[in-house]
């Protein structure tokens, strides 16, 4: 299967979205979108344990049709005791090694949500860092078609809806169906940077990603890499050997769960895909995941993310990378 990537639409930017920074805030936004639904809910979710989010889905499933695509682990646990009702259609994405790592919801076909916070419980708290975007009707309709396509297992439609999503600034990786648009968009941000890159990845483990960051460093780009102790020692060593300043922050000081990459203090990727082998997987990879992210130029969201990452990295990102405040 030929991968769907570099298709000429890989420069879309998400517009007119309400972007939230912070794990508790992202989970609250998720529950808010579901609670606000009046006619239908469609979603694809990695996990489902966070009590307010589970309560929102339970309430919705009592009132209206809910189509919920979940990772196989959630499916095996019965969707965490969601009501057994004809209004709920619960299906699984498929067993490991092809994980469903996305967090996407559409309410009433016109309100959308994409985010990085997994509703698993334990992610709430002031030191936890995630991202979410609440979407308008145009983006929500595209997202709903993408959820329907993958729930039906229709490769042709999965690829077509991924292409449509990229045009509005939403990017999928789905190596199972030959889609690599998110990986390609992240790589294009790295290779296109002229002055600076700030990258935050929960797990660093993809050799090619580190090589691209190293090449950026070699051509004079100021690169800062922020990650957690979950990263592979080999990748951290590879980055530091290339001269990349790499901060491995202790999780007790906070936790950057969501992934972020800012190029030239202008365009930022936020999403579920880490700079790991699974997150940046190619179609031939033995272990892969369906991932979802977006690219934004929202100055307020970028500034808030810079504030939170500055605290974790011990570096004033605003001053060093000339990121506007506020």
pLDDT at 9: 41
Among 46-60, 145-159, 167-181, 268-282, where is mean pLDDT lowest? Answer: 46-60
Q: What's the mean pLDDT in 17-24? A: 96
- β-strand 179-180 against 255-256: which pairing, if any? unpaired
Instruction: Mark whether 153 and 273 lie in a shared domain.
Output: no
Regarding whether 133 and 56 lie in a shared domain, the answer is yes
Would you say residue 85 has pLDDT above 80?
no
Domain containing 146 equals 18-170
39 shares a domain with 163: yes
Contact 260, 198 (CB under 8 A): yes
Mean pLDDT of 15-35: 95
State the pLDDT at residue 284: 80
Q: Is 259 among the domain residues?
A: yes
Number of H helices, E strands in the chain: 11, 18
Phi and psi torsions of 297, nearest 5°: -115, 15
What total number of domains does the chain contain? 2
CA dist., res. 20 & res. 27, Å (int): 10
Instruction: Please give the angle made by the CA atoms of 40, 44 and 49, to the nearest 5 degrees.
Output: 95
The CATH number for 68's domain is 3.30.870.10
Please compute the mean of the pLDDT values over residues 210-230 and round it to a whole number: 97
CB 325 within 8 A of CB 303: yes
Q: Considering the entire predicted model, what is its pTM?
A: 0.94
């Amino acid at each position: 299967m030929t991968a769907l990537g570099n298709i000429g639409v890989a420069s879309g930017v998400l517009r007119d979205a309400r972007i939230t920074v912070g794990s508790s805030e992202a989970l609250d936004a998720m529950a808010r979108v579901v609670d606000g639904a009046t006619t239908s809910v469609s979603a694809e979710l990695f996990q489902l344990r966070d009590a307010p989010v589970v309560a929102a889905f339970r309430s919705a499933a009592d009132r209206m049709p809910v189509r919920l695509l979940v990772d196989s682990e959630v499916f095996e646990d019965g969707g965490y005791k969601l009501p057994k009702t004809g209004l709920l259609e619960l299906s699984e994405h498929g067993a490991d090694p092809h994980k469903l790592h996305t967090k996407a919801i559409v309410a009433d076909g016109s309100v959308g949500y994409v985010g990085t916070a997994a509703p698993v419980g334990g992610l709430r708290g002031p030191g936890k860092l995630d991202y979410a975007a609440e979407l308008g009707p145009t983006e929500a309709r595209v997202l709903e078609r993408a959820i329907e396509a993958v729930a039906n297992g229709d490769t042709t439609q999965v690829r077509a809806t991924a292409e449509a999503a990229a045009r509005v600034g939403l990017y999928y990786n789905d190596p199972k169906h030959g889609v690599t648009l998110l990986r390609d968009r992240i790589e294009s941000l790295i290779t296109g940077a002229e002055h600076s890159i700030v990258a935050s990845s929960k797990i660093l483990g993809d050799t090619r990603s580190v090589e691209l960051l190293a090449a950026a460093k070699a051509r004079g780009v100021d690169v800062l890499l922020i990650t957690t102790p979950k990263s592979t020692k080999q990748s951290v060593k590879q980055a530091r050997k290339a001269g990349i300043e790499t901060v491995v922050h202790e999780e007790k000081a906070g936790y950057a769960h969501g992934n972020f990459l800012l190029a030239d203090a202008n365009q930022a990727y936020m999403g579920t895909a880490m700079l790991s082998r699974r997150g940046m997987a190619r179609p031939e990879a033995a272990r892969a995941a369906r991932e979802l992210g977006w690219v934004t130029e929202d100055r307020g969201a970028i500034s808030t993310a810079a504030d939170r990452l500055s605290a974790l990295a011990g570096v004033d990102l605003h001053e060093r990378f000339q990121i506007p405040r506020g």
